[in-house]
Amino acid sequence: MNVDSYKLILRGFLDAGYEARFFNEKHGDNKSIFLRHDIDFDVKYAYEMSRVEDKLNIKSTYFFLLHSKSYNLLESDNIALIKLMMSNGHHIGIHFDPTLYNDIEQGFNRERLLFENVFNIKIDCVSIHRPSEYFLNNKENICGVMHTYNPIYFSDMKYFSDSSGCFKYGHPLESEEFKNRKTIQLLTHPIWWMTTKDGSISKLNEFLESRNNKYKKHVARNCIPYKEYLDDK
């Protein structure tokens, strides 16, 4: 998986006459593609993926974690990148981790309020982070908000995911659903496509190395002894 193979997938759908849809849009049984991206590790990878889509005039939905040990959603640089993605026509939503809360509805409402205030949007769809069986094919909304594992998007149409760094159940463009131009939900994680190494472990190590370098620069900006240490290396 790399950026070029992602472009090939997008062009495959376009050449077949598919139209990209947002989760709040009506769709038929044929030739609609719901492009969904769950952002587990890095906002910059998400932005880079959105730029690939921009060049093909494709819009998709990016779901961000509020509570993540991999990135700070409220960091000024991340907010700026996300707002730029929105200005280019992409939608954003909450990548919600229900395991963080004893009261799921209260926790979700807190996250929704923050998202809506920071990004000046109305949250109309949520993606569950590492969903339990409870959420899969559950028709119930979360505090009135549709989720991506609702059967409308999960079992009533073909669902593909690259969650382990590969398509476990076949490549989307080789599926019978694609050959018959059926509506599809495609979940990707930008880390698998925007990194340059081959293989999921190598890609994760590439991310960790880049994150380590970023933290070194952060420490150097805020600590003179460490800046002098780096300058002397």
CATH class, domain 3-194, is alpha beta
Query: Alpha carbon of 123 to those of 23, 37, 38, 89, 181: distances in Å?
Result: 11, 16, 15, 15, 30
| pLDDT computed for residue 142 by the predictor | 86
Query: How much of the chain is in helix, strand and coil states, percent to nearest 5?
Result: 45, 15, 40
Angle made by CA atoms 182, 26, 36, in degrees to the nearest 5: 65
Q: Which amino acid does the sequence have at 173?
A: L
Tallying the residues shown for the chain, one arrives at: 233
Matching residue, tokens 């700026």: 80
| pLDDT computed for residue 197 by the predictor | 92
Q: What is the pLDDT along the chain (233 residues), one digit of tens a residue?
A: 899 999 999 999 999 999 999 998 888 788 999 999 999 999 999 999 999 999 999 999 999 999 998 999 999 999 999 999 999 999 999 999 999 999 989 999 999 999 999 999 999 999 999 888 888 888 888 888 989 998 888 888 999 999 888 898 889 999 999 999 999 999 999 999 999 999 999 999 988 988 888 888 878 888 888 777 777 76
**E strands along 76-178, which residues?**
91-96, 125-128, 146-147, 158-161
DSSP 3-state of 62: strand
Q: How far apart are CA 34 and CA 45, in angstroms?
A: 19
| pLDDT computed for residue 37 by the predictor | 96
Q: Is 142 left (phi over 0), alpha (psi -120 to 50) or beta?
A: beta
Q: How far apart are CA 60 and CA 148, in angstroms?
A: 13
pTM equals 0.91
Domain ranges of the chain: 3-194, 200-233
Q: Give the H/E segment covering residue 21.
A: strand 19-21
Handedness of CA 160, 99, 107, 144 (dihedral sign): positive
